[in-house]
Structure 1
Amino acid sequence: MNSNIQAMITNVSVDDLEEAIPLYKELAGNPEVLRFPYEETQLALVGPFLLISGPRGNHEAQNATILVHDLTLVQEALGRAGAAIVDAPSEVPNGTRLVARHPDGAVFEYLQPRG
């Protein structure tokens, strides 16, 4: 059986993206930095790190972002486990996402990237 999970991205709350990016670029091997806004926050994807700056909202509680091939499979597994959907599936600039609180209290964002 192949895993539905493509990658896991650690969420890092920072006060200033510009100050934080150089360290995370070096740690991740100097990848391209992808910047994008989401609601009132500014985000920068630096390798396996998602830097989040601005009002945190649901982002502060999230343990990580998990990239998946099929969000439907995630929803089915979450339902069987009794997880709570914190933020229903919605379209965002880089795909479709949902946020769920697992029965153990861990909170994850699940993202099915576009294309």
Structure 2
Amino acid sequence: MPDIAAVVARVYVEDLEAAIPLYQELAQVKAVDRFAFRDVQLARVGPFLLLSGNSTACQDRVATLLIRRLAPVLTALERVGGHIIDGLSPAPNGDRLIACHPDGSVFEYIETGDTEPPA
């Protein structure tokens, strides 16, 4: 079973509440998981992660990857010459880290520990 449980598209919005209905319709879900991290207000709507507020510091991320275990990510990054920008640290949804791949792509990884991909 692969360690990547899901890839979450990051969407930066001015007004979180105004943006949510469109993403609920696109994802065909009613559930919205709202939370805050540092100066950013977030809402997870299906495969979308909406970010609002002071998100300038995190706009370099290509995507958020929900990972069952972070250890294989750390091993792979070390082997290919990637590096950790921020983390390993706790976050509202699980332990996280921000990593830069050798090609310059920046990803957020969150360890969910899930055995099944999120719905």
If the TM-score is normalised by the length of the shorter chain, which range does it land in? over 0.9
Q: Which runs of 4+ in 1 moved over 2 A?
A: none
Q: Deviations over 1:31-64 (max 9, x none)?
A: 4000000001000000000000011144201010
Match for 1:65: what amino acid?
Answer: T
Alignment RMSD: 1.2
| Matched residues, number | 114
Rounded Cα–Cα distance in structure 2 between residues aligned with 1:31 and 1:64: 22
Q: Report what 1:74 is aligned to.
A: 73
Task: Kindly indicate which of the two structures has a greater share of residues assigned to strand.
Answer: 1
Displacement of 1:114: 5.8
Question: What are the ranges of 5 or more consecutive residues in structure 2 without an aligned counterpart?
Answer: 115-119
TM-score (norm 2): 0.91
Q: Deviations over 1:56-95 (max 9, x none)?
A: 1442010100011110111111111111211121001110
